[in-house]
Structures are given as C-alpha cells and as structure tokens.
Amino acid sequence: MIDGRIIAALLAAMVFATTTGLCDPTSKEINVFCAAGLTGAFSEIGQIYKNETNVNVILNFDGAQVLRTQIENGAYADVLVSGSNKHMQALMAEGFMDNGTVSTFARNWQAIVVPKNNPANIANFSDLDRPGIKIVMGSKDLPITDITMQILDKIAKDPAYGPEYKEKVLANKISEETNINFIVSKVAMGEADAAFAHKSEISSKYAEKVILIDIPERYNVKSDYTIGVLNQSKYKDLAHGFIDLISSPQARAVLEKHGFEIA
C-alpha cells in the first residue's frame, strides 16, 4: 500500500505548482527560429516580448536554409523568421507553416562589405573583378547567395561590364559560409577583401570593423523578411502574440534602428 503521507505530499506539490504559476501558460517559453542577420534586432525584440508577457523567447539564429532543414528534420519551433521567401514558401507548401499567419514585415537592400582599413582599395563593385581580390560568399541556398547571383547577373547584362565581369568576380571567391554573420566576420577579421551582405545585417560586434559600400539601385536587389507560426506550435496564442509585437511601434523602432525598411 502507498503511504498516505506520500499521497498527501504529492497533492500538496500539485497545488503548489498550480498556485505559484508553474502551470500558468505565461510561464512557458516559445522557440523562435530566426535568420542570422536579424540577431541584433530580434535579440532586442525578444527581450521586449519577455518584459511584456513574462514568456522567455528562445532564439535560434542561423541561415534560412539551415533553419528550414532543421524544421524539416523534426526540430521544434513556434515561430519562423526568414530572410528568404524561397525557404518560407517551401515550408508552407510542405505543410509546416500556418500559412494564414505568414507575412512580410521588413525589407533590406544589399551592400558590399570591406574591412575598415580596406587593404584592397575597393571603391565600388567594379573593383571586385580585379585579379587577386579575395571575396567571401554564402553557401548554396543561403538567401544572400541567391541575391548576390541576381546582382551579378544584372551587372553582367550591362554592356559596360558584360558576362566576363561575373565570371571574374566568382573566380575571386575564396570561401562559402553558411550564414551572414560568418561572412561578415571573415571580412571584419581581414581574411577577405570584400563580400556582399544585407545592408542592415551587420551586427554591432563588427560594425566598427567594416565599411559598407552602396550598390547602385539599378543593380541592387531588395530582400524581404517574413514571419509566421508553425503548425507544430504548442503555444499558438503566444506565437501569435509574438508576431503581433513585430508590427508594434516598439518593434518597428528597433528594426529601423538596425537599418531595416518596414514593409
């Protein structure tokens, strides 16, 4: 027989958990899978959400293609924030997303990133095809990689540069990185002369170590950032609340501070 004192202790523990809020939904945490380039902005937004709701936001930052693969292979997340329509749409088509919650919340232009001391003396994109220039790029399916190819294709169609420009730039590639933070860090540490990067995705860690060079709008490509709730979310009300926060004046101010254009 089970000792009555043990049963009483168990019941008391259950009452304690209930009355102290351990079973309160607001004591839960939500998992947000987020594009690495949004690290600075969403670290702040996650803290705002916690301050307002007392719900912890567990942020997993990585490249959009990595996040997609993790979700497809069973990783748990409540919310996905993607820097790639391609990967978001793929997850929507595969049934992972609550498609009605998916929306574009911000946009971004691209720039060329060079080290602060700019040892290769790069003044604009026309310098990137010079022999010996060391360029770091993203790995296959990373959003910035797709955008870089689009930019190079636009420039290559200009008779002033031609297809050989793109070929020469790609010949200067020294490495491929899996997220934008790794790309920028290579440039900041002087391991590369230049890279293409989302203009507003330079983390505070590297901001003073690099210089951004604008790409003319006629060659540039604007990227969209999307957010949505996953069907697997156990806390959809909390996930919806997080998405609602993104459109608030507070969150918009954070995004604008980090250089994003509000959609």
* CATH number of the domain that residue 209 is part of: 3.40.190.10
> Do 168 and 199 fall within a single domain?
yes
Q: Does 13 fall in a domain?
A: no
Asked if the model's pLDDT at residue 67 lies above 60, the reply is: yes
Q: Is residue 235 part of a domain?
A: yes
Does 108 have pLDDT greater than 50? yes
Whether the full predicted model's pTM is greater than 0.85, yes or no, is: no
Residue 166 sits in the same domain as residue 258: no
Q: Are residues 156 and 70 in the same domain?
A: no
Residues 126 and 202 in one domain: yes
Q: Does 10 map to a domain?
A: no
My answer on whether 193 and 227 are in the same domain is no
Question: Three-state SS for 212?
Answer: strand
Shared domain for 189 and 100, answered yes or no, is no
Q: Provide the domain limits for residue 154.
A: 110-214
136 and 194 in a single domain? The answer is yes
Whether residue 84 sits in one domain with residue 156: no
Residues 6+ positions from 162 with CB-CB distance below 8 Å:
156
Mean pLDDT of the chain: 89
210 shares a domain with 114: yes
CA-to-CA separations, 184 to 15, 108, 208, in angstroms, rounded? 52, 16, 12
How far is residue 78's CA from residue 49's CA, in Å, rounded to a whole number? 14
Q: Which residue has the higher pLDDT, 13 or 145?
A: 145
Are 89 and 117 contained in the same domain?
no
Reading the block at residue 242, the tokens are 């997080």
| Sole residue written with tokens 């001391």 | 117
Question: Does residue 9 lie within any of the structural domains?
Answer: no
The arithmetic mean of pLDDT across residues 204-218, rounded, is: 92
Looking at the domain assignment, is residue 77 inside a domain? yes
User: How far, in whole angstroms, is CA 183 from its chain's centroid?
Assistant: 13
State the pLDDT at residue 27.
53
Name the residue with higher pLDDT: 101 or 18.
Answer: 101
Q: Are residues 146 and 53 in the same domain?
A: no
Q: Is the residue at 154 inside a domain?
A: yes
- Of the two residues 179 and 170, the one the predictor is more confident about is 170
**Domain total of the chain:** 2
* Same-domain status, 122 and 74: no
Q: What is the pLDDT of residue 249?
A: 97
Instruction: Give percent of the chain with pLDDT exceeding 90.
Output: 76
Q: Is the dihedral of CA 230, 235, 236, 237 positive or negative?
A: negative
- What's phi and psi for 184, nearest 5 deg? -65, -35
Residue 6 lies in a domain: no
